[in-house]
Structure 1
Amino acid sequence: MSPLNILSGGAAQGLVVSLTPAFKAQTGFDIAGEFGAVGAMADKLRKGTPADIVILTAALVARLAEEKLVVARSMTDVGVVETALAVRTGDPLAAVKDAADLREALLASDAIFVPDTKASTAGIHVANVLQQLGVADEVATRLRVFPNGATAMRELAASEARRPMGCTQSTEIIGTKGVTLSGSLPPGCELATMYTAGITIAAAHPQRARDLIDLLTGAGQHEQRKRAGFISGLSQAPT
């Protein structure tokens, strides 16, 4: 039996992996595919990478539906994920209450681990925040940029820098051993992103994709979504 193929933002990886055993028990299908920067995943779908389901930002899934690559009526919100700060487990948490605190924390860090600043939701936002705070040039040589947030967090966990920190989506921080969620970005710098699932037009297994969406968004998984880092925002689309 072929697996259900997924293209997903890294923000949803922890939740999908945690529910994979239940999905296989229910349907007999494994889940295969890729998790990474949302822009890169969308481009893979556009270039013909086989996928039954996508889980990307709401705006990007809507765009793919307009491009006739995702079934519009299948679109279902999974939940909201915040962009947040991370430190190595055991390091002091960054005390960031406002933009001035964030600026100070960034300037005090000797290595800043972030996802792709051109294709990932969090990475693009980090780049904008650095410009907003007026520190982009000053910290440019300290940025450690990786293809996605999960990789950035693994590298943060292994870092031997004196005072490293990271910034990516909270779900990727929570799902990585060796790093600790230090807190959300402060007011004026914050970002909360809705993630949405959709069945692709070319899905080989559209009903199994619907089954996975129902599992991901079902009321019974509320606590699991919360533990994974999704904070709110369920909105069931018609089937």
Structure 2
Amino acid sequence: MSSLSILSGGAAQGLVGSLAARFKEKTGLDIGGDFGAVGAMADRLRAGTPTDMLILTSVLIATLAKEGLADGVSAKNVGRVETALAVRESDPLASAPDAASLRKVFLAADAIFVPDTKASTAGIHVAKVLAQLGIADEVASHLKIYPNGATAMRHMAETDAKHPVGCTQATEIIATKGIRLSGALPKGCELATTYTAAITAKAKHPREAQILIDLLTAADQAGARERAGFLSL
């Protein structure tokens, strides 16, 4: 059976999954999605990976449209996603109302689970925050870096570390069993990223891609977006 091929940031995986059955009912297609660091997904498109649709940061979608790889006219914003702290369900919440508290949270952790610090939106930001807090070298040996936030959170859920903490996008935290959201990063360290969906320039299924974009951004799906961790624009 044919499927809709998408390249997406890991932030949208839970939301797309929640709409898969409804999408198949409307189109007869499954969703063949790859979810990961947005930079890596963009590079895969540039390398020629057959793709019908993208869900990436608004900045990347605009760049890919300028490169002739994405249809800018089809682009629609899905919502904003905050970079946040995560703890295991069995652990107490990590309180970080300000930068000083966040610094203490990271220093107290014996393992810090994060996505790719060079290709993922949240990972790049975490590296920046650790440098900003003046503790990048001090916590370097505790960093557990994975290709994307979803993978980092799954490993965190299974870790035998005594005091682990995670930092990635809220959507990836919410979607991971055994992990709970412990709050967004505090003022001065915060990041809220806008995600945008668009049809690719060489889409094999542009009509079906448009249907999924409409589902992702529909007014009656506001609750689903909120539950998945997307904030309204």
TM-score per shorter chain, which class? over 0.9
For 1:100 and 1:8, the matched residues in 2 are separated by: 34
Q: What letter corresponds to residue 170 of structure 1 in structure 2?
A: A
> 2: distance between equivalents of 1:221 and 1:59?
24
User: Is there any run of 5+ residues in structure 2 with no aligned partner, and where?
Assistant: none
The corresponding residue for 1:145 is 145
- Matching of residues 1-239 of structure 1 within 5 Å: 1-233=1-233
Task: Tell me the distance in 2 between the aligned counterparts of 1:72 and 1:43.
Answer: 18
Spell out, residue by residue over 1:35-94, the C-alpha distance to the aligned partner (whole angstroms, 9 max, x if none).
Answer: 000000000000000110000000001000000000110110000000000001110100
Give the Cα–Cα distance (whole angstroms) in 2 for the partners of residues 72 and 182 of structure 1.
35
Q: Match for 1:60: what amino acid?
A: L
Helix, strand or coil: the match of 1:87?
strand
- Distance in 2 (CA, whole Å) between partners of 1:176 and 1:201 is 33
Aligned-residue offset at 1:2: 1.4
Alignment size in residue pairs: 233
Looking at structure 1, the residues matched to 232 and 141 of structure 2 have their Cα atoms a distance apart, in angstroms, of 36
In 2, the alpha carbon distance for the partners of 1:33 and 1:45 equals 13
> Where do 4+ consecutive residues of structure 1 move more than 6 Å?
none
TM-score (norm 2): 0.99
- Quick one: distance in 2 between partners of 1:186 and 1:166? 15
SS of 1:85 mapped into structure 2: strand
1:109-151 C-alpha deviation (Å, 9 max, x unpaired): 0000000000000000000000000000000000000000000
The letter for the 1-side match of 2:71 is V
Distance 2:177 2:107 in 1: 25
Distance in 2, matches of 1:27 and 1:146, equals 34
What is the aligned-residue identity percentage?
66
TM-score normalized by the length of structure 1 = 0.97
**Deviation at residue 27 of structure 1 after TM alignment:** 1.0
What SS does structure 2 have at the residue aligned with 1:162? coil
Task: Find the aligned partners of 2:231 and 2:216 in 1 and give their Cα distance.
Answer: 14
CA RMSD of aligned residues (A): 0.5
Q: Is the 8 A contact 1:33 1:51 kept in 2?
A: no
Matched AA of 1:120:
S
List runs of 5+ in structure 1 lacking aligned partners. Answer: 234-239
- 1:33 positional shift: 2.5
Shift of residue 161, structure 1, vs aligned partner: 0.5
CA-to-aligned-CA distance 1:192-227 (integer Å, 9 cap, x gap): 000000100000011110000000000110000000
Q: Give the match for residue 237 of structure 1.
A: none
- Find the aligned partners of 2:219 and 2:112 in 1 and give their Cα distance: 37
Tell me the SS of whatever aligns to 2:8. Answer: strand
